[in-house]
Amino acid sequence: MPTQLSCSEVLSRCTGQAGLPPPLLLDVRQPWEAELARIRIEGVTERLIPMGELVQRLDELDPLQPVVCYCHHGVRSLQVVAFLERQGFESVYNLAGGIDAWSSEIDPSLPRY
Active site annotation includes 7: no
Give the pLDDT score at 2.
63
| pLDDT tens digits, 60-101 | 999 999 999 999 999 999 999 999 999 999 999 999 999 999
Is 35 inside any structural domain?
A: yes
What pLDDT does 1 receive? 58
The answer as to whether 61 is a domain residue is yes
What does the pLDDT look like over 22-66, one tens digit per residue? 999 999 999 999 999 999 999 999 999 999 999 999 999 999 999
Q: List the CATH number of the domain containing 31.
A: 3.40.250.10
Is the whole-model pTM more than 0.85?
yes
Q: Which of 7, 14, 69, 71 is catalytic?
A: 71
Instruction: Compute how many other C-beta atoms are within 10 angstroms of the C-beta atom of residue 89.
Output: 20
How far apart are the C-alpha atoms of 19 and 41, rounded to whole Å?
16
pLDDT, mean of residues 6-20: 90
- Domain with 55, as residue range(s), is 3-105
Number of domains observed in the structure of the chain: 1
User: Is residue 113 in some structural domain?
Assistant: no
